[in-house]
Structure 1
Amino acid sequence: MARRKLLLLLKPLDACSHSPSGGVSRLSNTQILRHLGSRYDVHRDAISFCENILQKKFVDWEAMLRDNLCHPIRNVDMVVTVGGDGTLLHASHFVDDSIPILGVNSDPTNVDEVEEYSNEFDATRSTGYLCAATINNFEQVLDDILEGRVVPSELSRLSIRVNKELLPTYALNDILVAHPFPAEVSRFSFRTNKGSQPCSPLVNCRSSGLRVSTAAGSTAAMLSAGGFQMPILSHDLQYMVREPISPGAASNLMHGLINPDQTLDVLWSCSEGFIYIDGCHVRYPIKHGDAVQISTVAPVLRVYLPPHLSGQEVYSFSFKRDSVEKRWKLSNM
Structure 2
Amino acid sequence: MAIKPMRVANMKNVLVVYKKSKYELYRNSPDRGVRDFINGDSEDAIRARKSHEEQQKTLETVVGTLDRAGVNHKEAYRARLVDISGEVESNDLAIAVGGDGTFLEVSHYVAGIPLLGVNSDSGTSKGFYCIANRESFAAVIGGIDATPKTTVGRIELILDGKRLPELVLNDILVAHTNPAAMMWYVLTAAREDGASDEKRVKSSGLLVCTAAGSTAWMYNEGGIVMPLGSSAMQYFSRGIRGEKTALAEGLAVKSLTREGAIYVDGEHIKYEFTIGSILHVGKGAPLTIVGSLEEKRRDYA
User: What's the TM-score, normalizing by structure 1?
Assistant: 0.78
Determine which of 121, 135, 156 is the counterpart of 1:107: 121
* 1:117 aligned partner: none
Structure 2 residue runs of 5 or longer lacking an equivalent are: 1-8
Secondary structure at the counterpart of residue 95 of structure 1: coil
The reply on whether 1:144 has 2:143 as its aligned counterpart is yes
1:195 CA drift (Å):
9.5
Name the structure where strand makes up a greater proportion of residues. 2
| Matches of 1:178 and 1:307, distance apart in 2 | 30
Matches within 5 A, 1:255-266: 255-258=245-248, 262-266=249-253
| Matches of 1:176 and 1:311, distance apart in 2 | 23
Q: Are the structure 2 counterparts of residues 193 and 93 from structure 1 closer, same or farther at C-alpha, using a change threshold of 3 Å?
A: same
* 2:5 aligned partner: none
Q: Report the structure number with the largest CA radius of gyration.
A: 1
* 2:3 aligned partner: none
| Matches of 2:276 and 2:11, distance apart in 1 | 52
| Matches of 2:153 and 2:184, distance apart in 1 | 28
| Matches of 2:191 and 2:238, distance apart in 1 | 24
The reply on whether 1:92 has 2:104 as its aligned counterpart is no
The reply on whether 1:300 has 2:286 as its aligned counterpart is yes
* 1:67 aligned partner: 79
Q: Are the structure 2 counterparts of residues 210 and 38 from structure 1 closer, same or farther at C-alpha, using a change threshold of 3 Å?
A: same
| Matches of 1:51 and 1:208, distance apart in 2 | 44
The answer to whether the Cα contact below 8 Å between 2:232 and 2:247 also exists between their aligned partners in 1 is: yes
| Matches of 2:296 and 2:154, distance apart in 1 | 16
| CA-based RMSD | 2.6
Aligned partner of 1:231: which letter?
A: P
Matches within 5 A, 1:1-333: 2-13=10-21, 14-15=23-24, 23=34, 25-26=36-37, 30-70=42-82, 71-72=85-86, 73-96=88-111, 98-109=112-123, 125-145=124-144, 148-193=145-190, 197-200=194-197, 202-244=198-240, 254-258=244-248, 262-296=249-283, 298-306=284-292, 308-309=294-295
| Matches of 1:41 and 1:138, distance apart in 2 | 17
The answer to whether the Cα contact below 8 Å between 1:156 and 1:235 also exists between their aligned partners in 2 is: yes
| Matches of 1:178 and 1:18, distance apart in 2 | 32
Structure 1 residue runs of 5 or longer lacking an equivalent are: 110-124, 317-333
The answer to whether the Cα contact below 8 Å between 2:171 and 2:208 also exists between their aligned partners in 1 is: yes
Q: Residue deviations 1:152-190, cap 9 Å, x none?
A: 221111111223332221111100111111112101121
The answer to whether the Cα contact below 8 Å between 1:16 and 1:24 also exists between their aligned partners in 2 is: no
* 2:4 aligned partner: none
The answer to whether the Cα contact below 8 Å between 2:149 and 2:292 also exists between their aligned partners in 1 is: no
Q: Are the structure 2 counterparts of residues 172 and 22 from structure 1 closer, same or farther at C-alpha, using a change threshold of 3 Å?
A: farther
Q: Are the structure 2 counterparts of residues 65 and 286 from structure 1 closer, same or farther at C-alpha, using a change threshold of 3 Å?
A: same
1:134 CA drift (Å):
0.6
